[in-house]
Amino acid sequence: MSMRERTQEASLPTPSLPEWEETAQSEEREGDEFSQSIQRALDVLAETQAEDGSWRGDYGGPLFLLPMYVATHWLTGEPLPESTRQGMLQYIQSVQNEDGGWGLDEVSSSLVFTTSINYVALRFLGASADEDAAVRARAWLHQHGGPVGSASWGKLLLAVLNLYDYEGVDPVQPELWLLPKFLPFHPTRLWCHARMVYLPMSYLYGMRATQPLSPLVEELRAELYPQPYDTIQWSSCRGKVASTDATYPRSGLIRMAHKVMSGYEAIRRKSWRERSLALTLEHIRYEDEQTHYICIGPVNKVLNTWVWHFANPEGPELQAHLKALPLYQWETPNGIKMQGYNSSQLWDTTFAVQAMLTAQGHQSHPNTYKQAMDFIDNNQVLEDPPEAETYARHEANGGWPFSTLDHGWPISDCTAEGAKTVMTAEDHTGEALEPARLRASIKWILGMQNKDGGWATYEPTRGPNWLELLNPSDVFGNIMIDYSHVECSSACIQALVQYKDRAPESLQKPIERAIQRGVHFLSQVQRNDGAWLGGWGVCFTYGTWFGVWGLLAAGVPATDKRIQQACEFLVSHQRKDGGWSESTESCHTGHYTETDESQPIRTAWALMALIAAGWKEDNAIQQGLHYLRHTQQEDGTWPEEHIAGIFNQTCAIHYDNYGKIFPLWALALAQQKTQTQGFH
């Protein structure tokens, strides 16, 4: 049965004994409408493309970021423009929970950590302590014991602001960087994001960086705590975490490590501290310079700025940091927030182009297509970091980053999607990326494969799994080492498969082997119910889309049990209206959980898996397409949906452009399948 027939079946009541001509006409109408949906979605992409050829969008969501941004201006005395100040105030108030607190992200329940620092930010931005938002926040905070129960990051941030005593901060010492490199817990073994966050933290802790007291700080000390500030027994606050903040209760090992480190802190040698501060500052400088002061992520961006404020307040480093800070700002109708990265531009653009190519959008929207390709072309990393070994950097030549070349840290799946995009573009248009550059990207992918056959994010895994027992964050899961992920692995397999026919003889074998090992990894991490758990998108629909595409690309037949089970899993969660509605809760609990309504992006992910697998049962594809077509709005967009991204199992993050890309891609894929091979 063709897709048109099936779509018609889902969307129209079956006529009793239709004349064949009538059927043919209505099929044609359906087909036209289908094409129109695709055209309208392509128009939206064209209309929303940024000048540099990429797509930019809201990449916010975590609620610990903006307070850090605001505090940077407070610390350095650099004034915020008035409209920015107001926009930030508006945003903080718009994401306050009904109970008066703030969650880890825009959709989660209140934590002491984020409530404390958002409260401080409100006051730094000029809100008075008597305002309703502040009164409600204080009530929540006092009920939960005040900042002494904050997750660890909150305590350190408050300590720098002189709103918490360093005696009550669990130690994070710069001397760890002086340890021999072969130790499995040497900082260079950590996931680069954890490494780059704890690096400036250890500097600030090591020098006990503290802002001088001021009248507002005195007021805040009185407002934040349920008890008088001077009566707090700080050393007993170490290790204390309120139940709201103890998402990952501390292991015996980290408790023991903290005890040892506290013991060391009492007897430490001055010269070791000085040496380690100098060494960590050198690493911080390197990271700043390599990333043009953008830094690998939002947290180390702010913390590195703070480091320079204390280390060299009049120096050029602080100025360079302040200049780059607004790259993290994003304005929404709800006010101004700080984003989770300097943008998601490269990542979104590779998907947008792949969706366009599937929809033949390079023909209907040639300028949009060309500019997007230029962006991808201009943002490939073409050199390795200097002195990579000294600074524990993995090679980078050939990789693509998540945001921009200036940021510069390449990532496995961003590189794979970049490579896939340029190869698919070549297949469609004949225009190719310079072969040496494409080859470099593939070699980089090959060099990133882990021993388990999978791919992690920025670096091959460097440390043992048990390092997770030393996770001191309280609120984030899986941050200690760079783990292999289904998404990264699938994307890398797809890129390698696509490259195989273009590969020089010398690379044929290594590529073939890497693909087989990758397939082994994907099979290993598939769950018994057929699903894959996504790490970076919500959640099973996202992970399963990647799992299925990875296996299919590697030549696993659609009839294989692994693919069949994955499809059955997806179909078993399809709703009556044809859509899928998975919620962020799935990522926290590991069980498929739904929101109140179907969501276009999740629906597109599930459909893309089913369509690629040629799923025949239950009219599932037709109903899904029907849902997508009928939820598309007049202007070609889909209604805004629940937050679609996640990281470290707990924190939700917006991927604004996904709503423009994935429904389009799913529709285009369905149309392409009909045209090329009949639907099945």
Catalytic machinery residues: 413
Cβ nearer to ligand LAN, comparing 63 with 488: 488
DSSP state letter for 15: P
Got the DSSP string for 605-616? HHHHHHHHTT--
One character per residue 598-637, x = contact with ligand LAN (rule: CB under 6 A): ----------------------------------------
Both tokens of residue 294?
């953008």
- Type of residue found at 159: A
Cβ nearer to ligand LAN, comparing 350 with 598: 350
* 647 belongs to the binding site for ligand LAN (CB under 6 A): yes
One character per residue 302-341, x = contact with ligand LAN (rule: CB under 6 A): --------------------------------------xx
Got the DSSP string for 342-410? S--HHHHHHHHHHHHHHTTHHHHSHHHHHHHHHHHHHT---SPPTTTTTTTPPP-TT---SS-TTT---
- For residues 547 and 526, is the Cβ–Cβ distance under 8 A? yes
- Smallest separation (angstroms) from ligand LAN to the CB of 258: 19
One character per residue 490-529, x = contact with ligand LAN (rule: CB under 6 A): ----------------------------------------
User: In the chain, count of helices (H) and strands (E)?
Assistant: 26, 8
Torsional class of 401: left (φ above 0), alpha (ψ -120 to 50), beta (otherwise): beta
51 CB-near residues (< 8 Å, 6+ apart): none
> According to CB under 6 A, which one of 299, 419, 601, 604 is a site residue for ligand LAN?
299
One character per residue 45-84, x = contact with ligand LAN (rule: CB under 6 A): ----------------------------------------
Cβ nearer to ligand LAN, comparing 140 with 476: 476
- Smallest separation (angstroms) from ligand LAN to the CB of 194: 6
Q: What is the SS3 string spanning 73-119? A: HHHHCCCCCHHHHHHHHHHHHHCCCCCCCEECECCCCEEHHHHHHHH
* 342 belongs to the binding site for ligand LAN (CB under 6 A): no
Range 648-677, binding ligand LAN (CB under 6 A):
648, 653
- Smallest separation (angstroms) from ligand LAN to the CB of 230: 33
Cβ nearer to ligand LAN, comparing 457 with 584: 457
Range 178-197, binding ligand LAN (CB under 6 A):
193-194, 197
Both tokens of residue 475?
């609120």
Both tokens of residue 79?
């004034």
Both tokens of residue 614?
């040629």
67 CB-near residues (< 8 Å, 6+ apart): 92, 114, 117, 118, 120, 121, 157
Cβ nearer to ligand LAN, comparing 488 with 628: 488
H/E segment holding residue 582: strand 580-582
Cβ nearer to ligand LAN, comparing 287 with 413: 413
One character per residue 13-42, x = contact with ligand LAN (rule: CB under 6 A): ------------------------------
CB atoms within 10 A of CB 577: 15
Both tokens of residue 467?
């390092």
CB-closest chain residue to ligand LAN: 647
- Smallest separation (angstroms) from ligand LAN to the CB of 482: 9
CB atoms within 10 A of CB 573: 18
Cβ nearer to ligand LAN, comparing 34 with 347: 347
Q: What is the SS3 string spanning 169-191? A: CCCCCHHHHHCCCCCCCCHHHCC
* 172 belongs to the binding site for ligand LAN (CB under 6 A): no
- Smallest separation (angstroms) from ligand LAN to the CB of 646: 8
Q: Which stretch binds ligand LAN (CB under 6 A): 173-181, 206-214, 406-414, 502-510?
A: 406-414
Cβ nearer to ligand LAN, comparing 193 with 250: 193
- Type of residue found at 154: G
- Smallest separation (angstroms) from ligand LAN to the CB of 455: 10
Cβ nearer to ligand LAN, comparing 105 with 165: 105
Rounded Cα gap, residues 352 and 360, in angstroms = 12
Cβ nearer to ligand LAN, comparing 10 with 492: 492
Contacts 24+ apart (CB under 8 A), 466-469: 466/253, 467/184, 467/185, 467/189, 467/190, 469/251, 469/253, 469/254
Rounded Cα gap, residues 439 and 432, in angstroms = 12
- Smallest separation (angstroms) from ligand LAN to the CB of 77: 26
- For residues 303 and 201, is the Cβ–Cβ distance under 8 A? yes
> According to CB under 6 A, which one of 536, 540, 542, 679 is a site residue for ligand LAN?
536
Cβ nearer to ligand LAN, comparing 335 with 543: 543
Rounded Cα gap, residues 458 and 481, in angstroms = 11
Cβ nearer to ligand LAN, comparing 644 with 670: 644
CA angle 155, 328, 163 (to 5 degrees): 20
DSSP state letter for 291: T
* 359 belongs to the binding site for ligand LAN (CB under 6 A): no
One character per residue 468-497, x = contact with ligand LAN (rule: CB under 6 A): --------x--x-------xx---------
- Smallest separation (angstroms) from ligand LAN to the CB of 403: 9
Q: Which stretch binds ligand LAN (CB under 6 A): 383-391, 409-417, 425-433, 523-531?
A: 409-417
# binding residues, ligand LAN (CB under 6 A): 21
H/E segment holding residue 647: strand 645-647
Instruction: Provide the Cα torsion 9, 361, 429, 425; round to 10°.
Output: -90
One character per residue 565-594, x = contact with ligand LAN (rule: CB under 6 A): ------------------------------
- For residues 163 and 224, is the Cβ–Cβ distance under 8 A? yes
Rounded Cα gap, residues 342 and 649, in angstroms = 21
- Smallest separation (angstroms) from ligand LAN to the CB of 30: 35
- Smallest separation (angstroms) from ligand LAN to the CB of 199: 11
CA angle 217, 219, 223 (to 5 degrees): 115
- Smallest separation (angstroms) from ligand LAN to the CB of 487: 5
Torsional class of 469: left (φ above 0), alpha (ψ -120 to 50), beta (otherwise): alpha
- Smallest separation (angstroms) from ligand LAN to the CB of 566: 19
* 297 belongs to the binding site for ligand LAN (CB under 6 A): yes
Residue 422: Cβ-neighbour burial (10 angstroms; 0-12, 13-18, 19+)? buried
> According to CB under 6 A, which one of 30, 413, 459, 482 is a site residue for ligand LAN?
413
> According to CB under 6 A, which one of 373, 414, 507, 613 is a site residue for ligand LAN?
414
Range 84-103, binding ligand LAN (CB under 6 A):
none
Given the rule CB under 6 A, which residues bind ligand LAN? 193-194, 197, 297, 299, 340-341, 347, 402, 411, 413-414, 457, 476, 479, 487-488, 536, 647-648, 653
